[in-house]
Amino acid sequence: MNVINAVAERPDTAKATTYDAIIIGAGISGMFMLYRLRELGMTARVFEMGTNVGGTWYWNRYPGARFDSESWTYGYSFSKELMQEWDWKEHFSPQPDTLEYLNHVADKFDLRRDMQFRSTVTSAHWDDAANQWHVTLEGGQKATSRFLFTAVGILSAHTLPAIPGRESFQGPAYHPARWPHTPVDFTGKRVGIIGTGATAIQAIPEIAKQAKQLTVFQRRPNWAAPLHNSKISKEEMEKIKARYDEIYAYCATTPMWFIHQMDHRKTLEVPKEEREAFWEKLYAEPGFGIWLGNFRDIGTDEEAAAAISEFIANKIRQRVKDPKVAEKLIPKDHPFASRRVPLESGYFEAYNRDNVRLVDTLNDETIECITPQGIRTNKQDYEFDILIYATGFDGVTGAFDRIDIRGTNRVRLKDAWAESPRTYLGMLAEGFPNMLMVLGPHTARGNIPQAIEHSVQFQTGMLKFMQEHNYTHVETRPEQVDEWTQTVIKAAEPLLSSKVDSWQTGVNRNVDGRTVRRVLGYNGNGVHFRRLTDQVAKDGYKEFSFR
Ligand code: NAP
């Protein structure tokens, strides 16, 4: 059976076909971009594949899906009114609440009237003579616009495992990023899950509570640390609301725009006892402190990374009863924090349950194929009622690759970026005029909604500048692209994460050609990035070429 797709209906049809701007995607980026473009008096149309707003939080409805960043730092901050009227219920918001929040935003600002759902953009071609983009949707509908905004997200191009026989499985199979809109009932079911990334780490403890048996196929284990989620009381929420200005101002001073600030001491210069006490404290606290509030050099120094890795490994050993299983769950090929750290709620304890078993497909047995009944390894056949492919995404550039985007001289973006993306600030690509990327490759990310707001503010600020000067065409200059690409590559060099395969380094063996590491984000300090972009704006966007 094929993987179940949550959306199977035909596209709506729009009345008008020419707009000032077309926005691809109705997630956090597309929603805010639409809001700001309207303020500039522009006509805009959002084309969205799904049946409603929400992007990541629309698609990823799997059990256990939730923020692992503090809710009250992870929403929109552009509207004080919105901030004051919305109550987060938990410190790390579960997916249904987040989707409700995004629907509330869409209602409040009446965003849906300029959105067309069930509409997949298949191509976007630049027409130099007409100074506009021609966009085609699946089904043939066409639209044109002066500006094209890609609000496609960095983790939206989900990938299924390249394992033979996938189509033959007779039961339902799901990718978490295409989870059905009605809950999946695991009661009494034998469930197999492939993958142990952040998604699986959230889903496994929840599925384990219901399923008759859950078998986890792990290739490489991931480091993970406790989330320590809790409810937010009414009184606590009022206090948070009163401090919003202070909270967001503080986030803007941290390298990744989160509430956590790195500790500038060097790990090994801190006496062992003090260091361990610090780590104990971080491990017991909610959120990303253990990663983003840790000693700064754990991300760059191998010995420092080995020390924190050993600390976390011991935590896994303490939490998992079977020492053999514990060892299998401890990564040996990369240190802690060299891949994006998943935060978990009872992930390791799930392996103490009688109905959960771990299959180590790196050391013990290898998956040979999917069969009509389940999964065959070189050692045995496993039978399942339900399969879950928690096999991740073609990160950052994947969503771009899936659209036939052509710029000047019909050059394909996919070809231009074949080896590696090249952009200026992650916002414009050379040879693709009037195409602005909200979370493009090589931009600063960290706290994603904050990064989105910053990017949208910068880009709409530039559009305002263009309106004031009667410009209708913007391009980036080759020398700016060269310089920014070098800056981005240099910023990634000292990082241990650059030496590890992950979606962040662009490696995904389920996608043809995605075996070589690339730099896909700006890993420098977000504070510097803000400063730089603010300066570019202040100086009249001299780095861009307008006409
Ligand atoms: P992921 O981290 O890339 O994990 C994919 C998993 O599937 C890995 O364990 C991978 O093994 C395995 N896999 C892939 N193809 C396979 C194959 N053919 N055979 C066997 N195993 C295979 O993807 P993800 O878990 O979806 O997470 C991606 C990112 O989404 C996260 O890093 C995070 O940034 C984001 N995310 C965020 C949240 C949140 O904010 N709360 C939650 C979930 C995800 P290998 O490691 O060996 O390749």
Atom 37 (ligand 1) nearest CA:
198
Question: DSSP 3-state assignment of 21?
Answer: strand
Angstrom distance (rounded) from CA 487 to CA 240: 37
Question: What is the amino acid identity at position 242?
Answer: A
Q: Tell me the CA–centroid distance for residue 392 and ligand 1, in Å.
A: 4
504 falls within a domain: no
Distance (Å) from CA 201 to ligand 1 centroid = 9
Burial pattern 26-63, b for ≥16 Cβ within 10 A else e, equals: bbbbbbbbbbbbeeeebebbbbbbbebbbbbbbbbbbb
CB 358 within 8 A of CB 325: yes
Cα separation, 228 vs 68, whole angstroms:
10
| Long-range CB contacts (within 8 A, 24+) of 498-501 | 498/523, 499/338, 500/333, 500/334, 500/338, 500/339
Looking at the structure, do residues 54 and 203 belong to the same domain, yes or no?
Answer: no
Is 249 within the bounds of a domain?
Answer: no
Do 319 and 400 lie in one domain? The reply is no
How high is the pLDDT of residue 454? 97
The packing angle between helices 526-538 and 448-468, to 10°, is 10
Which residue positions in the chain have pLDDT lower than 70? 1-16
525 CA distance to ligand 1 middle (Å) = 25
Among candidate residues 361, 377, 392, the one where a domain is terminated: 392
Residues 49 and 144 in one domain: yes
3-state secondary structure of 78: coil
Ligand 1 centroid vs 285 CA: distance in angstroms?
A: 24
Distance in Å, CA 345 to ligand 1 centroid: 17
| pTM of the shown model | 0.96
Q: Dihedral of CA 425/426/427/429: which sign?
A: positive
Domain of residue 68 covers 16-157+395-476+524-546
Please tell me the residue having the least CA distance from ligand 1 atom 28: 392
pLDDT at residue number 3: 41
> 185: burial class by Cβ within 10 Å (0-12, 13-18, 19+)?
exposed
User: Which residue among 91, 388, 503, 511 has the greatest number of ligand 1 atoms within 8 angstroms of its CB, and so is best to mutate?
Assistant: 503
Contact yes or no for 531/257 (Cβ under 8 A):
no
- Nearest CA, atom 34, ligand 1: 340
Residue 316 backbone dihedrals phi, psi, to 5 degrees:
-65, -45
- Residue of 199, 216, 291, 292 best suited for mutating to test ligand 1, as the one with most atoms within 8 Å of CB: 199
Same domain? 325 vs 366: no
Judging by DSSP bridges, how do beta strands 381-383 and 374-377 pair with one another? antiparallel
What's residue 5's pLDDT?
38
Backbone dihedral region for residue 67 (phi beyond 0: left; psi -120 to 50: alpha; all else: beta):
beta
Residues 146 and 40 in one domain: yes
Residue 135 lies in a domain: yes
Amino acid at site 481: V
pLDDT of residue 481: 97
Is beta strand 132-137 parallel, antiparallel or unpaired with respect to 121-127? antiparallel
| CB-count exposure of residue 419 (10 Å: 0-12, 13-18, 19+) | exposed
- Indicate the top mutation candidate among 93, 155, 217, 361 to test ligand 1's pocket, ranked by most ligand atoms within 8 A of CB: 155
Look at residues 284, 310, 333 and tell me which one is the last residue of a structural domain: 333
- Segments of 154-212 assigned E as strands: 173-174, 190-194
Q: What are the start-end ranges of the H helices in 144-218?
A: 198-210
Return d(Cα 343, Cα 25) in angstroms, integer. 27
Examine the domain organization and report whether 320 and 346 are in the same domain: no
Together in a domain, 34 and 145: yes
Cα 280 to its chain centre, rounded Å, is: 28
- Residue minimizing CA distance to atom 46 of ligand 1: 220
With CA atoms as reference, report the closest residue to 46 among 70, 30, 28.
30
391, 450, 504: which to mutate for ligand 1, most atoms within 8 A of CB? 391
In a domain, 227, yes or no: no
Task: Evaluate whether residue 122 is within a structural domain.
Answer: yes
> End of a domain among 316, 333, 350?
333
Whether residue 378 is found in the same domain as residue 404: no
Name the one residue in this structure whose structure tokens are 């950052």. Answer: 396
Same domain? For 151 and 164 the reply is no
Rounded distance from Cα 163 to ligand 1 centre (Å): 16
Q: Residue for token digits 């600063």? A: 444
Whole-number Å distance, alpha carbon 384 to ligand 1 midpoint, is 21
176 and 264 housed in the same domain:
no
Q: Quick one: CA torsion of 103, 259, 532, 546, rounded to 10 degrees?
A: 0
Name the residue among 35, 24, 159, 135 with its Cα closest to residue 456.
35
The residue with tokens 């692992």 is 68
Which two tokens mark 429?
């690509």
In a shared domain, residues 83 and 218:
no
Nearest one of 126, 145, 149 to 411, comparing CA atoms: 126
Domain tally for the chain?
3
The Cα–Cα gap between 328 and 81 comes to 49
How many alpha carbons fall within 13 Å on the CB side of residue 179? 24
**Site residues for ligand 1, CB cut-off 6 Å:** 66-68, 155, 161-163, 194-200, 202, 219-220, 340, 390-393, 503, 510
Residue type, 191: V
Rounded distance from Cα 221 to ligand 1 centre (Å): 10
* Residue 418: inside a domain: yes
Q: What is the rounded (10 degree) CA torsion for 527, 434, 431, 509? A: 60
For residue 512, being part of any structural domain is answered with no
229 Cα: distance to centroid of ligand 1 (angstroms): 21
Q: What is the pLDDT of residues 157-171, one digit of tens each?
A: 999 999 999 999 999
The CA–CA distances, whole Å, from 457 to 70, 132, 438 equal 23, 22, 10
Distance between CA atoms of residues 543 and 465, nearest Å: 13
Question: Do 188 and 153 belong to one domain?
Answer: no
One-letter amino acid for residue 148 of the chain? L
* Cα of 303 from ligand 1 centre, angstroms: 26
Task: Output the domain CATH number for residue 418.
Answer: 3.50.50.60
Q: What is the pLDDT of residue 392?
A: 98
Q: For ligand 1, what atom is nearest to the CA of residue 66?
A: 41
Residue 502, in any domain of the structure: no
What is the length of the chain?
Answer: 547
Place of tokens 């395969």: 501
